[in-house]
Amino acid sequence: MLGLDLRQPDAKFEVHSLRPARRVGPDGELLVDLVIEMTQRKAGYFDLDIQDQVESGSLNPAPQADFIFRGGCSLLFDPLNSKVRYCIVKNILSANRLARQRQFLTAGTEPSLRAMYFGSAIQSGLKEPFAFLHRAIE
């Protein structure tokens, strides 16, 4: 429900913020909700076999992560009724989200504005990225 992996008794997550949000209700009364932001992170691997072995616990010690994968939620909590009014979730257990992030990080060949100005990993051998043509001469 919260987008966190709480299957282990020692599961760690961070509460990044807990702050009030004031709003005007339908009858003009002032209502206060609490905005709670929680995140959790786990190691991500480009190799699917390594990812599966690390998550199942069969690869111990785990190798250094290729990237960090994050998940969590933002909650709107009504303190008067002690109920969650709204929840935005990015599930850390979502295999689809993990696959999309892995694909984004490994794609790298798509043309981008950053690559135009500063070059990409593929163009690392080039001596003059476009941005340096516009620098001031001192």
> pLDDT tens digits, residue range 13-31?
899 999 999 999 999 999 9
- What phi and psi values does residue 82 have, to the nearest 5 degrees? 55, 45
Residues 85 and 124 in one domain: no
> pLDDT tens digits, residue range 55-87?
888 888 889 999 999 999 999 999 999 999 999
The pLDDT, as a whole number, for residue 125 is: 47
Residues 95 and 122 in one domain: no
pTM for this entry: 0.68
Q: What's the domain range around 133?
A: 111-138
Residues 91 and 134 in one domain: no
111 pLDDT band, cuts 50/70/90, is low
Amino acid 24 reads V
Q: Which candidate, 34, 30, 41, 6, places its Cα nearest to that of 20?
A: 34
> How far apart (Å, rounded) are the C-alpha atoms in residues 98 and 85?
28
The pLDDT, as a whole number, for residue 122 is: 45
The pLDDT, as a whole number, for residue 12 is: 87
Total structural domains in the chain? 2
